[in-house]
């Protein structure tokens, strides 16, 4: 839009400049002769027009230059003491990159029928491809140090998910061992870590929640779509691409009680299979809270093979039932699904469990409760 306005002003100025070649008086007289009220027009010509008429095209040319180069000049002469400020949640920034920016992102494949695994024979549709690619682009800029980010640091505590109230800037070195969580960053949250330790890395740092970016910096890396593209999207009513809809935490459905006593359940599905069952019934953050609540209260059982060392590739013990008090400060490592390990994220010095499994009836009971709510 800025370039169009600049072109219009320049075109008008050039036209007037060409008219001035015959002299200001003759140019104004010719212009008035084109008007239906030409006599009135000629009477209102000021006496100084013959001498100063050239100012008008010059004025229009100056406006064209100002309109065209003002944003660039404002950026170049920006006050040096003005620093980037944390004013944009990372979830909103990713939504902007996907829907409103000129970023070129990966696109989902065409729907297909799965031939292997727990979803064999089902028609599958890829979702979240654009959001995942946008998250990777943000992560790359954080690793390079070109993009700044802030967050609330997790506090070591006997209670899970405790974060500082202070907003801290996260250093560039932090991203050598940590990455943006591929699930939590798509929603604005201050009660779950939005960073995750890269598998195989060790770090004394903690996770961060409530991640914030600088809106100006994001716009520099991924500019807005042109006004014509945005207008076209609005005319055709193009829907916004969403990762998934997250319901309000106040409206979460009550945890359904599993049929039969939990103590008699036996493990028969993996963590990956449980994820697919629950993901088809409710958004991730929705079912995750209810699943943890059931694990802590003893209404859902989990089994796993206790790792004999802190090394992820260490020797594993036999499959045993995971105590319910284990989940008060530990969690499931969802990033390991489909990866073979399917492990937990232990807290307070506890050892991790791998090859985590659940009882299918309990998980289906939980999923059916979400379907009834929907």
One domain, residues 63 and 141: no
Q: Does 142 map to a domain?
A: yes
Separation between Cα atoms, residue 25 and residue 45, nearest integer Å: 9
One domain, residues 129 and 71: no
One domain, residues 71 and 108: no
One domain, residues 304 and 181: no
Domain with 55 in it: 2-76
One domain, residues 92 and 217: yes
Last residue in a domain, options 76, 99, 124: 76
One domain, residues 217 and 103: yes
**Number of domains making up the chain:** 3
pLDDT attached to residue 153: 93
One domain, residues 168 and 267: no
Q: Does 81 map to a domain?
A: no
Separation between Cα atoms, residue 259 and residue 275, nearest integer Å: 20
Other CB atoms within 10 Å distance of the CB of residue 45? 16
Sign of the four-CA dihedral 353, 270, 292, 192? positive
Separation between Cα atoms, residue 12 and residue 118, nearest integer Å: 68
**Is 125 strand, coil or helix?**
coil
Q: Does 204 map to a domain?
A: yes
DSSP-derived secondary structure letter, 35: S
Cα 306 → chain centroid: 35
Q: What angle do CA 13, 8, 63 make, to 5 degrees?
A: 60
pLDDT attached to residue 157: 75
pLDDT attached to residue 216: 92
Q: What are phi and psi of 90, to 5 degrees?
A: -60, -30
One domain, residues 122 and 210: yes
Separation between Cα atoms, residue 134 and residue 147, nearest integer Å: 14
- Tokens 């990966």 belong to which residue? 106
Whether 187 and 91 have beta carbons less than 8 Å apart is answered as yes
Q: Does 317 map to a domain?
A: yes
One domain, residues 263 and 337: yes
Q: Does 180 map to a domain?
A: yes
Last residue in a domain, options 221, 242, 277: 221
One domain, residues 164 and 72: no
Separation between Cα atoms, residue 127 and residue 133, nearest integer Å: 12
pLDDT of the chain, 374 residues: tens digit per residue: 555 555 555 555 555 554 555 455 555 565 565 556 545 555 555 555 555 455 666 666 666 666 666 665 555 555 444 688 999 999 999 999 999 999 999 998 888 888 887 778 888 888 889 999 999 999 999 999 999 999 999 988 776 678 898 999 999 999 999 999 988 898 888 888 899 999 888 888 999 999 999 999 999 999 999 888 888 888 998 888 887 644 433 333 444 443 433 446 788 888 888 887 777 666 665 677 778 878 887 888 999 888 766 554 557 788 888 888 888 778 887 766 665 678 888 876 677 888 888 988 888 888 777 654 54
One domain, residues 207 and 307: no
Helix ranges (H only) for the chain are 2-19, 24-33, 38-43, 49-52, 55-76, 90-99, 129-144, 215-221, 227-235, 271-279, 284-297, 360-373
């Amino acid at each position: 839009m800025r370039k169009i306005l600049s072109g219009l002003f320049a075109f008008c100025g050039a036209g007037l400049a060409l008219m001035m070649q015959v002299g200001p008086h003759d140019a104004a007289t010719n212009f008035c002769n084109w008007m239906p009220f030409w006599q009135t027009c000629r009477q209102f010509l000021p006496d100084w027009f013959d001498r100063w008429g050239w100012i008008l095209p010059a004025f229009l040319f100056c406006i064209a230059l100002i309109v065209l180069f003002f944003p660039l000049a404002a950026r170049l002469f920006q006050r040096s003491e003005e620093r980037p400020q944390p004013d944009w949640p990372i979830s909103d920034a990713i939504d902007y990159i996907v829907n409103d920016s000129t970023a070129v992102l990966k696109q989902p494949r065409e729907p297909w029928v799965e031939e292997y695994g727990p979803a064999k024979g089902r028609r599958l549709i890829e979702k979240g491809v654009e959001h995942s690619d946008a998250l990777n682009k943000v992560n790359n800029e954080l690793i390079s140090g070109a993009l700044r980010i802030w967050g609330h640091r997790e506090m070591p505590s006997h209670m899970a998910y405790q974060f500082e109230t202070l907003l801290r800037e996260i250093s560039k070195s932090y991203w050598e061992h940590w990455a943006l969580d591929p699930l939590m960053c798509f929603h604005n949250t201050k009660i779950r870590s939005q960073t995750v330790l890269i598998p195989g890395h060790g770090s004394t740092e903690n996770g961060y929640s409530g991640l914030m970016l600088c809106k100006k910096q994001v716009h520099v890396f991924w500019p807005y779509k042109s006004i014509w593209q945005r207008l076209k999207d609005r005319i055709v009513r193009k829907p916004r691409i969403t990762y998934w809809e997250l319901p309000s935490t106040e409206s979460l459905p009550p945890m359904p009680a599993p049929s039969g006593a939990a103590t008699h359940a036996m493990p028969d599905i993996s963590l990956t299979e449980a994820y697919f069952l629950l993901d088809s019934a409710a958004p991730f953050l929705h079912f995750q809270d209810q699943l943890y609540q059931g694990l802590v209260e003893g209404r859902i059982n989990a089994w796993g093979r206790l790792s004999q060392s802190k090394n992820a590739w260490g020797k594993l013990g036999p499959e045993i039932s995971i105590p319910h008090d284990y989940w008060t400060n530990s969690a499931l490592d969802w990033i390991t699904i489909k990866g073979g390990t399917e492990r937990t994220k232990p807290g307070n010095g506890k050892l991790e469990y791998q090859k985590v499994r659940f009882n299918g009836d309990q998980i289906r009971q939980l999923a059916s409760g979400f379907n009834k709510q929907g």
